[in-house]
Amino acid sequence: MPESAEKEARRALARLRRAVEKSLRELDTLSGAIRHAEAEDFPSADYDMARERMGEIMDFIDEEGRRLEAKILQAGGLEPGRVRRSSM
């Protein structure tokens, strides 16, 4: 994978992660406002399902990040499982 494509893929994953994180915050804000207005008529199951779906998207992003990292390491001649990150 060319370096510019790797860089763009990492950036796109980061943007997507931030967008989903923001969407979760907005969903919570919306949920709070509507829950307050509707009380017992609030469709909590629907909101729970929406949160679950966004969680699945976050899982997908994490998996794609791991897959991309493995491809980058392999392209550089390294084995993904053998690289350790140092603590700074």
Q: How far is CA 84 from the centre of its chain?
A: 23
pLDDT value at residue 78: 64
CB 65 within 8 A of CB 14: no
pLDDT value at residue 73: 80
- Global pTM reads 0.75
Helix (H/G/I), strand (E/B), else coil: 43 = coil
DSSP 87: P
pLDDT confidence band for 6 (50 / 70 / 90): confident
pLDDT value at residue 1: 55
Q: Write the pLDDT tens digit of every residue in 42-86.
A: 999 999 999 999 999 999 999 999 999 888 887 766 665 655 555
Provide the token pair at 60: 């997908």
What span, in angstroms and rounded, lies between the C-alpha atoms of 9 and 51? 25
pLDDT value at residue 79: 64
Provide the token pair at 7: 């860089």
